[in-house]
Structure 1
Amino acid sequence: MSTRNGGAAVVETLAAHGVDTVFGIPGTHNLELYRHLVACGIRAVTPRHEQGAGYAAEGYARVGGRPGVVLTTSGPGLTNAMTAAATAYAESQPMLVLSPGVPTGTEGADLGLLHETKDASGAMDRLVRWSRRVESPEEAADAVTEAFATFRGTRPRPVHVEVPLDVLERAWGGSPWVGAVTAAPEPDAADVRRAATLLARARRPLVIAGGGAVDAAAEVRALAEALGAPVATTVNGKGVLDESHPLAVGAAVRLRALQKATADSDALIVVGSELGDADLWEGRIAAPAVIRCDIDPGQLHKNCPADVALLGDAATTLQALLAALPANPTSDAFVGTYPTNAPFVGTDGRAARAGELREACRAEARGGAGAYEEINAAVRAALPADGVLAGDSSQVTYLGSVHFFDVLAPRRFCYTPGYATLGYGLPAAIGASLARPQAPVAVLLGDGAFMFSVQELATAVDLRLPLPIVVVDNGGYREIRDQQETRGIPPVGVDLPVPDLASLARAFGALGVRATDPGAVTALVADALSADRPTLIHLKTRTE
């Protein structure tokens, strides 16, 4: 067997694209991928479950802005990672999943081979942007290069490459190559002028920034300040405008106060969001004049038809829009543009309007938050400004962190509102820690979500991550219990015994402490950030 083989074709091409970290579990059938990692300078991180590998890769991509790469073995290794791949698709995160497959010529033969799967690539193709089964080492290298091309210039979404076992082992004498960067579409100049006219005439402009705007933070701020427009975000857009900025409303799109404000505005611009039900919670976004900006043409009229549709990359499109605005969009609007380090200065009451809207949204969110606001404030007080928070499909996240944990920049908040998976928070935090090793990371989630991926404590211990993991004890599945009560259903399958999580953490080699007062969490998190290993903080308190 040549050591420069199909496995080398894949791994060398990963390295050529700047990959230095992969997440996965070695198995019988993917060893020819693992053979080449060290020589190519790629670090292999081994979670304790392939789903955890996928969530870690998603967190890595979300925080680092670089594609997450997952290596699985065939059969169950791949199927274990499918939920994470589907999560990345729903949340528009770049992920490359690589797996071995049955040997060439045995597809669908039902021979009883180890890990044999009826149609692994076909199954993945139903979940991701595309899935491809290759037929040669050369084609394997090309598929990896094409995968990275799909992450640039288009809406980022996961892809899968299946490499048959015989192809992994076949000799390869080629060289890795990097394809040309895919050019993002540019908006039509006439449409930009139409949008600029609408915004310049607006007396009550409003901006909604979604996940597609995370790399256009400077442009969103410049536009908001030029117009004096409040900025609300979706969950995936959280932090696109520093949430301490006077024009920031926060991640409030699902709140009725914000939805009413959009209906009352005279010009609404939506940047990089599909405005789906996962964002709106059965609400609706509508305005007399709607401008949509998106890199995906299929999103420009989805859920809220656009009066002006701007197809293009968010940063480039907003730059064009800013250039088309008059120096003074309205007689009493904000004058000029401001560098990102300049203080915010206004000439009318629009900042007050933004502040009033923010307070109305917070008051609405506070009605369902209970103690979750206090818990989030305690963690926020301990985490430095540049810190990253990872949450989960837990009440403390979507009722608490979304609204009450302010972040000062994009790519600082890990949560999956669309696919709403459980078990995401801890492995995503591991991926985030590796993507931004200089930034402190914390986890805040419920006990139900934590138990989905408790095994990844071992991964965090292996990596010696100073990771605070705050687990709010709700005694099982509190959200589903609440829904059962609302429907008049007696609680079934939701009240669960919770282990002694502090002792469990210590058994994994982590630190473990207990708390009953949210006020004690700040000091515990601060201590955990300077520890030489992860710290689990088991918080047992009333959360209703």
Structure 2
Amino acid sequence: MTNVKRGSQALIQSMINQQVKYVFGIPGAKVDQLFEDLKYSDQPNAPKLIVARHEQNAAFIAAGIGRLTGKPGVVATTSGPGVSNLVTGLMTATAEGDPVIALGGQVPRDDLARYTHQSIPSKELMSVASKSSVEVQDSNNLSEAFTNAYSTAISGKPGASFISLPSDVLSGNVTRPEMQKLQAPEQTQTFAKTLTQIVKMIQNAKLPVILAGMRASSENVTEAFHNLLAKVSLSVVETYQGAGVISHKFENDYFGRVGLFRNQIGDTLLKQSDLVIAIGYDPVEYEARNWNVEHNDQIINIDTVAPELTADYQPDMVIESDIASTLAALTDALPEDYQLSQSAVAQLAKLREEFDGQNDVKTDAKPGTMHPLDIVNTLQTKVDDDTTVTVDIGSHYIWMARHFRIYRPRHLLFSNGMQTLGVSLPWAIAAKLVRPNEKVISVSGDGGFLFSGQELETAVRLKLNIVQLIWNDGYYDMVKFQEQAKYGKIAGVKFGPVDYVKYAESFGAKGLRATNASELAAALDQAQQEDGPVIIDIPVDYSDNIELKSALLPDLLN
């Protein structure tokens, strides 16, 4: 006898087969069958349904799951505006390599061609924000559609997959068996001839430098990367999304991060290098027209995907294969006695002295406020290697990217491809779900925080001990200081005050305020003792933001 299921039940079983643990979303009439079956499933491994307060934030949380685990997070919303509110979240995930599967409710099939309630061309809308976008027309295709969406989301450069689900497809009968767990594909290997050529290029280079990008930050790639550095000492520059690929053991090889403005130690080193080895680098992180203005003598591109070629980025060698296995093979191929020349060592020592002095500058904030570096340095003393720190967009994001250290990959999260406001708190929720026994700290400005601040209720409901720092100055300051530099005046960047301590308390969270380093240190200690989320409001003095654009090239101030 055929085992008949509803479409939504077959979809849930497909999630179970791919080991999906959570579904984040907002309910609605066109997707309520899925929500009902998730809530009342008798399957012990059924994903947990977590209701968010906005579809965009639900997508951000799902993307956070994807970035932290390498496996797609799942978001489900109703039709019409429920789907359209996903666009920013999916666009950000696709640009920044975070695997996500979005399930969008849709009107019944016989209403698709009608101008009716909440009927929009969802599949077409999402085709520009995701790697794949399909609409299921038969309940028996649901499992196949989900499994293919999963495969697409994790393949090549990860990103978002979207599935439009007409309500009658979710409630329709399914007789076809569900797809089983995906098998990991066989990884391609690098040819010995290619490895020999790479070794010669490294040996002949006067100052080889590694540029570690977003796809260098997976656990297996980082392990292979560390094995390489254990054998040969090579200077490393991280992108923002490559943050943490350098561990404590290899700190002497670390020369900072690059992204946004071309005025960092890492930019200087890339400019001086005659061989850049780009590992898992994606141009959306930091375009080559910024760091390769003078066009380096040679570039090797090691990645799982083909690079985007431009006038500023034409690698002399492209290795398109599994990054970890390529690095392992390269480590074996490099001779034991390889070392940099004395002139290169002296050149790096000079840069090292300048780099190590970046945080040792005089800070003089207005009374009742904190200097950005004092906030960063205080926070640095209160984290350990297991702490996950999520960072929103704003002036604080530049200070954090330049000065805050982290020693494990995917423990310091930035939105650098899209620079999307509001990601920090949703990502922190994802981090606390994935890493429940580790500290999670979210860092936002007062502008970006209120893009997703309503998810504080979600964190309270889930009893997640997330510490949310708010750098408070009353402006969209990242825009403000750039306008001041370009025009000598500002426009459209001022907004009114919010009492964030009372805001926290109104949600049932703890609210604290810190106006100096000792108060912030005490607040961070207190926050870790609470059962749920804590907001720490920090009045900040951004007067020294001029330091963020020092030596900035005029054509790059944008």
TM-score, normalised via structure 1 length: 0.90
Alpha-carbon distance in 2 for matches of 1:281, 1:479: 22
Alpha-carbon offset, residue 276 of structure 1: 4.0
Partner of 1:340: none
Measured in 1, the distance between the counterparts of 2:389 and 2:428 equals 8
Relative distance call for 1:43 and 1:359 in structure 2 (3 A) is farther
Determine helix, strand or coil for the equivalent of 1:251. strand
| Alignment-derived partner of residue 524 in structure 1 | 523
1:141 maps to 143
Query: Quick check: 1:198 aligned with 2:201?
Result: yes
CA contact (8 A) 2:136 2:142 kept: yes
Superposition map of 1:67-466 within 5 A: 67-110=72-115, 112-113=116-117, 115-117=118-120, 119-177=121-179, 178-215=181-218, 216-242=221-247, 245-252=251-258, 254-276=262-284, 278=286, 282-284=290-292, 286-299=295-308, 303-330=312-339, 356-361=350-355, 371-397=371-397, 399-466=398-465
State the alpha-carbon separation in 1 of the partners of residues 74 and 18 from structure 2.
11
Report deviation, 1:486: 2.3
Residue identity opposite 2:512 in structure 1: V
What's the secondary structure of 2:111's corresponding residue?
Answer: coil
In structure 1, the partner of 2:556 is none
Unaligned runs of 5+ in 2: 366-370, 544-558
Q: For residues 101 and 311 of structure 2, what CA distance do their matches in structure 1 show?
A: 27
- Quick one: structure 1 residues 422 and 211, their matched pair in 2 at CA, closer, same or farther if it must change by over 3 Å? same
Q: Hey, what's the Cα distance between the residues in 1 that align with 2:354 and 2:283?
A: 21
3-state DSSP of counterpart to 2:52: coil
SS for the counterpart of 1:246 is helix
Give the total of aligned pairs: 524
- Cα deviation for residue 349 of structure 1 reads 8.9
* TM-score (normalizing by structure 2): 0.88
Give the drift of 1:316.
1.5
Q: CA deviation at 1:154?
A: 1.8
CA spacing shift, 1:461–1:151, aligned 2, 3 Å = same
Shift of 1:462: 0.6
C-alpha displacement of 1:32: 1.7
| Structure-2 change in CA distance of 1:477 and 1:221 (3 Å) | same
Alignment-derived partner of residue 59 in structure 1: 64
Is this contact kept in 1: 2:239–2:286, CA < 8 A?
no
1:80, distance to aligned residue in structure 2 (A): 1.0
Distance 1:280 1:478 in 2: 26
Offset of 1:498 from its aligned partner? 1.7
Deviation at 1:186, TM superposition (A): 3.5
Q: Aligned partners of 2:495, 2:284: CA distance in 1, in Å?
A: 32
CA distance in 1, matches of 2:97, 2:507: 33
Q: Which moved more, 1:367-376 or 1:56-65?
A: 367-376
- Taking structure 1 as reference, are residues 356 and 275 closer, same or farther at Cα in structure 2, changes over 3 Å only? farther
Measure the CA separation in 1 of the matches of 2:89 and 2:149. 17
Task: Tell me the C-alpha RMSD between the 2 structures.
Answer: 2.6
Deviation at 1:400, TM superposition (A): 1.4
Q: In 1, Cα distance between the equivalents of 2:11 and 2:458?
A: 25
Query: In 2, distance between residues paired with 1:459 and 1:153?
Result: 31
| Equivalent-residue separation in structure 1 for 2:264 and 2:413 (angstroms) | 24
Q: Deviation of residue 191 (structure 1)?
A: 2.2
Aligned to 1:39: 42
> Mind listing any 5+ residue stretches in structure 1 that lack a counterpart?
334-347
In structure 2, relative to structure 1, the CA distance for the partners of 1:542 and 1:455 (3 Å cut) is: same
User: What amino acid does structure 2 have at the position aligned with 1:221?
Assistant: H
Against the structure 1 CA distance between its residues 482 and 280, is the aligned structure 2 distance closer, same or farther, given a 3 Å change threshold?
A: farther
Q: What secondary structure, in the 3-state scheme, does the structure 2 residue paired with 1:212 have?
A: helix
Secondary structure at the counterpart of residue 384 of structure 1: coil
Deviation string for 1:85-133 (max 9, x for gaps)?
A: 00001101101101122222433422x22x111x111010111111011
User: Which digits, 9 at most, give the CA deviation of each residue in 1:247-277, with x for residues without a partner?
Assistant: 1223235544323322322322100112347
